Structure 1
């Protein structure tokens, strides 16, 4: 009889059996690997001896362990290899092209090693799927924040009176690029399943941002209408939406996308007759989205007066009876307050014990497949699975592993973890 738990696991982990070698750092490519690991793929993260540079990126746990790194690398295996040595690079190449129909897949954000290039790997395994993230389309370097600067968004972000550009705290292009990498990899792997052919996939961070600006109509607007967009604070461009402060210092974001939302909002605040009179005085039909946006400031001031005379609790009670889109503003500390009640009650979250961090609530996969989703799994410590992977995936016996250690291609057993503990002030 089939165990229901096993069935649920299979549903939420449909990529079980796929093996991916990841040589990456920071956000986009690690997010790609983690997304696929949460769907069941065996993702083997390759790091230099001692760990990659992003293992110390803030925020940090009290031990010095990076919460950032741990968050983006959940559920992977990690090996430590001296990539500065040819023998180390060839070892990783062996791992990429190694046994199994579902292997032969690599994700990277660097093409500096010839031994790990598409041309070299595909000569050894013609069906290899080689996925590479670059900064620019020409292969040049870029990061999310420089791409933000290059594509116009920071000049539209922030309050109306801001004097300079305002970058987004959220690395949106890194996040989008990571998901594009994952989608592209799955498309290439499907192509391989259907044809037996490998594929070379490239995603440029600049292209991701440029595509977003084009897909949202911003580039066409500038080309065809000569429109010079200006900052508009927290107003939602093209519709009616903005933030409002309450009498007790609270603040809400409210969006009225439709005419129904708009009518509900003014009915809930007792301003229906006032806004009707305003409509007549301005000759504006507020059933039209463009008219609501055009007169957003005067409409906003009407509502601001109401919210400033009511507490946050009173405003929330009034809005709950409507179909208006709204939410109070919360800080990260607000989200985890009250013994993590909000996190504990979310089906996305589960309590996880991360080495170097301890127990905390962490997200699993946001994808819900037949009612099931993959829970979070701890991120690996530096080199945690080096010998396990080389033994099981490449068939290396103890003498061969000892030779690699002797030559400095891989560290001694637990060497990377000892170094990681020393860096974070833990006792080995």
Structure 2
């Protein structure tokens, strides 16, 4: 929710239709702006990968209906630091969404999901392969009801191949995709980034796949397919990581080179590293030809700036350790702020290493709208990340706050399926 949006009351009604109304006409869709306004997305699955994809679509105007199991809902509601029993992470991951309770263990819950899927444009799921088929909700069934449906399936290893049935989390995907081996110091055990990169990379690849499938669907509209033809988007966590591994595979194929961890350096590209300063560290990227010359001049090493053997990256990479030593001899005598100021004035990419406290106080983050305010149901104000990417013509925006469990069950059933709200309340035993 942006700062312009007032927080809703803590006990907002799930629907505005009076309980005594015997029938209800479908309510209009919630007002939304953005390039995906009018797009209906049904989000199944839990935790990170599928819900992050749903969050991204919601940020750009899609109406995202999140299916949650009764009782506790998505486990992410209780992950990491909690406020009044709910994770503050929830306010980011589920912003802009509508929560509908359905128990996929029961025929009634599965029937509700199938009927909602018949009204959707996109369905997102990140269950283990075969789970949707076991419930009678596989793409063949859903797309028979709704031929224009796009089904985004995110899993550890994909929907095919010898590993498809293995459980897969981001930690395993990052290892199998080649990333974990490169993280850390030479000769030391590999480390992880501290966030679930495999999940978020898979989610973003999933969003790309959905947008591509929507484009293809729009081109396949015909008398036989008035909405166009849907398709399955199959995203594997390990493949999403592997897709970002740059030259890793062709270097092995051509030269038998197995890249090794290099700490904060960038192997084969120099100078680019984190450098000790008098009061901390600064990161410096001096690996462009003209940038390198400016860097050397800024640190008083005109001799290196003029050295013809260092005029291109190949020569610099061969002497990376010596260049790092020359830079460190200059940075270690100065505080981080001075190092960054001198190098930025010389048009050399440099910066300090931010903590979240630095991010929250940074004027550039604020000026770019990356520090937004959300409110929990009891009114607690939270800083949350803004919307990425930025579109100047049809920008995204943070819409409604993250829902309470089942908050929208009755309203969505009424709007999508034309069902009486009172009947939905009775069936969900008051959850809505």
Q: TM-score, normalised by structure 2?
A: 0.83
Unaligned stretches of 5+ residues in structure 2: 1-30, 221-227
Deviation at 1:122, TM superposition (A): 1.6
- The answer (yes or no) to whether the contact 1:364–1:373 under 8 Å persists in 2 is no
1:243 equivalent to 2:274? Answer yes
Unaligned stretches of 5+ residues in structure 1: 1-9, 405-409, 415-428
Q: What are the Cα deviations for residues 124-155 of structure 1, in whole angstroms up to 9, with x where unaligned?
A: 22222222112113333211110122233222
- The answer (yes or no) to whether the contact 2:139–2:232 under 8 Å persists in 1 is yes
Deviation at 1:67, TM superposition (A): 2.3
SS of the aligned residue for 1:165 comes to: coil
**Matched residues in 2 for 1:134 and 1:413: separation?**
30
Which piece of structure 1 moves more, 370-379 or 191-200? 370-379
Match of 2:346 in 1: 322
Please list, as runs of the form range in 1=range in 2, the aligned pairs for 1:1-16 lying within 5 A after superposition: 13-16=34-37
1:261 equivalent to 2:278? Answer no
- The answer (yes or no) to whether the contact 2:294–2:305 under 8 Å persists in 1 is no
- The answer (yes or no) to whether the contact 2:91–2:402 under 8 Å persists in 1 is yes
- The answer (yes or no) to whether the contact 1:71–1:379 under 8 Å persists in 2 is yes
**Matched residues in 2 for 1:186 and 1:133: separation?**
15
Please list, as runs of the form range in 1=range in 2, the aligned pairs for 1:329-344 lying within 5 A after superposition: 329-337=353-361, 343-344=365-366
Match of 2:70 in 1: 49
Q: How many residues align?
A: 383
1:225 equivalent to 2:255? Answer yes
Deviation at 1:341, TM superposition (A): 5.4
Please list, as runs of the form range in 1=range in 2, the aligned pairs for 1:14-413 lying within 5 A after superposition: 14-50=35-71, 51-58=73-80, 60-98=81-119, 103-110=120-127, 111-113=130-132, 114-137=135-158, 138=160, 139-140=164-165, 141-162=167-188, 164-195=189-220, 196-213=228-245, 216-240=246-270, 241-247=272-278, 249-273=279-303, 276=306, 279=307, 285-337=309-361, 343-355=365-377, 358-370=380-392, 373-377=395-399, 378-398=401-421, 400-404=423-427, 410-413=428-431
**Matched residues in 1 for 2:315 and 2:326: separation?**
16
Match of 1:421 in 2: none
Q: What are the Cα deviations for residues 273-296 of structure 1, in whole angstroms up to 9, with x where unaligned?
A: 2565xx4xxxx6111112212211
Q: What are the Cα deviations for residues 78-113 of structure 1, in whole angstroms up to 9, with x where unaligned?
A: 111122111111111101102xxxx34211112513
Change in Cα spacing, 1:250 to 1:135, as seen in structure 2 (3 Å) is same
| Structure with higher helix content | 1
SS of the aligned residue for 1:115 comes to: coil
Deviation at 1:74, TM superposition (A): 1.2
